[in-house]
Amino acid sequence: MGESVASTEVEETKTFIGLLPIFASTIMMNCCLAQLMTFSVQQGNIMNRSLNSFKIPTQSLSVFPLSIMLTSIPIYEYFVRMFRSKNNHHPGILNMFQPLRRIGLGLALASGSMAAAAVVEAKRREAANDDVVLSVFWLGWQYLLLGVSDMLTLGGMLEFFYSEAPDTMRSMSTALSWCSTAMGYFISSVLVTISNS
């Protein structure tokens, strides 16, 4: 009996180690998330935040990606349910909703969000050279991509880690997604410290 328990533990450990590449690939996405959440606030400080007579507080800008993420979840679920009901006789088509594909699409959108942030920053600097103040709503593109990216990646990671982990390690495996977020934010703070020194 001791050997069967040991072999089970070995197999569970191998399965858990197999999850680590997915975990590692999402750390930099979370670093991008942290960078955009902090530097967008700095960008917003020097942009036009007026909405008629109301001035948008700079610190509240980080609410936009979170609200986009929250609103995109039911929209995504609605379209997935509708697509699956119409195409349930084509199992190959349904594979596009697997967790790894969602994670991959989320990582691609995170890259797109960083590209959008670079374009907006270049446009903002160009406008500042011409003594024009850009509207804070230019940040909306990066917030939109970031919110959808976070929804796809985080949801895909939680589903993937839960479905692929051994029964005895499921809670630890789902904690990997939050550990990835924490490590991404930590790396972001290290990068900011290095760039400011």
Domain range list for the chain: 61-164
Q: How big, in percent rounded to 5, are the helix, strand and coil portions of the chain? A: 85, 5, 10
* pLDDT tens-digit readout, 62-86: 888 889 999 999 998 898 888 777 7
Q: Give the pLDDT of residue 96.
A: 61
- Compute mean pLDDT per 10 residues along the chain, 197 residues long, and list them: 65 84 90 85 85 85 88 89 74 70 92 92 87 86 91 90 82 85 93 86
- For the chain, give the percent of residues with pLDDT over 90: 27
Q: Give the pLDDT of residue 1.
A: 46
CA atoms within 13 A on the CB side of 27: 12
* pTM of the predicted model over 0.75: yes
Q: Give the pLDDT of residue 68.
A: 92
- Minimal CA–CA distance to 175: which of 165, 189, 185? 165
12, with CB counted inside 10 A (0-12, 13-18, 19+), is middle
